[in-house]
Structure 1
Amino acid sequence: MTPAQADHARADTDPSDRYSEEGPAGLVLDTPMPADGAALWRIARDSRVLDLNSSYSYLLWCRDYAATSIVARDTSGEPVGFITGYARPDAPRTLLVWQVAVDERLRGKGVAAAMLDALTRRTGAALGVEAMETTITPDNTASDRLFTSFAERHGALVEREVLFDAALFPEDGHESELLYRIGPIGARDDEAPSLPGPAPV
């Protein structure tokens, strides 16, 4: 049995560590496992938009950051979309969304938005997440729409600033990465919104 198969077996026998809910287009929104890593790498590669990380990094992400990530599975159980994220070490109530990708045949069906909402619910309940961060390059209008719409649905503010200037990247042609900070997630209309700071240590 390979390590990936062993992980699948553990997940099947210990459902208390799993998260799953129905998503749009007949999909299931689920907790990623290391055996999903190769599929996530392929989806990222085929997006032709995301920076493609090593295949090994996706395997590690599905092991070490499964609680702050999510996959969308089709009826055969294969991943057709994913979000990878992590809780900020110095601000554990803030979820940093690393990558969002959906298989080309399912784009435009609300899959990315549904994954983002589901991941927010899960991390809010399990980890007390109150804010979200992500970085977007100025030319990525699809991601801007996704996260701006998310903020509107959740009654949250969006703050934008340059996180990493283009000059910091070693390769030519890399655009600056703009930090989007969204929060508080789920604020009521009658509350004066303000973004939460780092959690007390």
Structure 2
Amino acid sequence: MQHPAHPMRADLPTLRKPIAKDGADIWKLVRACRPLDENSMYCNLLQCDHFADTCVLAEMQGEIAGWISAYVMPNEPDTLFVWQVAVSDIARGQGLGGLMLQTILNRPQCKDVTRVQTTITADNEASWSLFRKFARRQETELDVTPYYTQSLHFQERHKTEHMVTIPLANRARLAA
């Protein structure tokens, strides 16, 4: 996947696996990226420590500019579940979310992954845009269904989360 920026630009992001000491800064980034749900700082620390192989941190000019937390589903090793995507104000609109997601999928830990899943509330336009664009790049479409509902699962305290599934058709063909 090509980054939309010119390859010689000095402000291109550095993408890397997170380490435990990144947890607090990631927590701050997520807090600044409404409407994302805040997890505890401890949760972000665990993501950086225990799930580093399937998470990615983007830095621009020494500052954290983006974050994706994800994991390969324990009972479905062909599925990468994207927990959260955060992109700072300074990096929005540059294709960073898609670049980070592709970076994770290119890692050896995702060699058997043939689909991506995430949950999105109906009003999170940034996430819908990211995953629609990603699906188009994969030459596929989103499969969407209500998953965790406002009344049944969230007791009216949170909007319904829709399960979004993106089949990675090209990967599935290669695995066959």
Contact 2:148 2:154 survives alignment (8 Å): no
Sequence identity (%): 34
After the TM superposition, which parts of structure 1 deviate over 6 Å for at least 4 consecutive aligned residues?
Answer: none
**Does 1:165 find its partner at 2:149?**
yes
The answer for the alignment partner of 1:139 in structure 2 is 123
Give the counterpart of 2:76 among 78, 84, 91.
Answer: 91
Q: 3-state SS of the aligned residue for 2:69? A: strand
* Structure 2 residue 62 is matched with structure 1 residue 46: no
Q: Which runs of 5+ in 1 are unaligned?
A: 1-21, 197-201
Please say if residues 161 and 178 of structure 1, whose CA atoms lie closer than 8 Å, have aligned partners that are also in contact.
yes
In structure 2, relative to structure 1, the CA distance for the partners of 1:40 and 1:171 (3 Å cut) is farther
Please list the CA deviations of residues 78-112 of structure 1 after superposition, one character each: whole Å capped at 9, or x if unmatched.
32210000111110110000000011121111111
User: For residue 159 of structure 2, what is the aligned residue in structure 1?
Assistant: 175
Contact 1:156 1:186 (8 Å CA) reproduced: no
Find the aligned partners of 2:29 and 2:147 in 1 and give their Cα distance: 26
Matched, 1:59 2:45: yes
Deviation of 1:130 after TM superposition, in Å, equals 1.2
Unaligned runs of 5+ in 2: 6-10
CA distance in 2, matches of 1:185, 1:51: 31
Alignment of 1:112-123 (within 5 A): 112-122=97-107
Output the CA distance in 2 between the equivalents of 1:171 and 1:53: 19
**Partner AA of 1:107 in structure 2:** R
1:100 aligns with 2:108: no
Query: TM-score of the superposition, structure 2-length normalised?
Result: 0.86
Query: Match for 1:130: what amino acid?
Result: T
One-letter amino acid of the counterpart of residue 101, structure 1: A
The residue matched to 1:117 in structure 2 has which SS?
helix
| Residue identity in the other structure for 1:146 | L
The one-letter code sitting in structure 2 at the alignment partner of 1:48 is R
Q: What residue identity is the alignment partner of 1:167?
A: S
Aligned counterparts of 1:117 and 1:47: Cα–Cα separation in 2: 21
Which amino acid in the other structure matches residue 96 of structure 1?
Answer: F
For residues 102-128 of structure 1, the C-alpha deviation after alignment (integer angstroms, 9 at most, x for no partner) is: 1112111111121112112225x6542
2:97 and 2:133 mapped to 1: Cα distance?
A: 11
Residue 98 of structure 2: SS of its match in structure 1? helix
* RMSD (Å) for aligned C-alpha atoms: 2.3
**CA spacing shift, 1:116–1:126, aligned 2, 3 Å:** closer
Match of residue 11 from structure 1:
none
For residues 57 and 128 of structure 1, the distance between their equivalents in structure 2, rounded to whole angstroms, comes to 26
Q: Which has the higher contact order (CA 8 A, sep 6+)?
A: 2
Residues 5-62 of structure 1: per-residue CA shift (max 9 Å, x gap):
xxxxxxxxxxxxxxxxx99541111111111111110000011210000001000110
Task: Spell out the pairing of 1:1-12 with structure 2 (5 A cutoff).
Answer: none
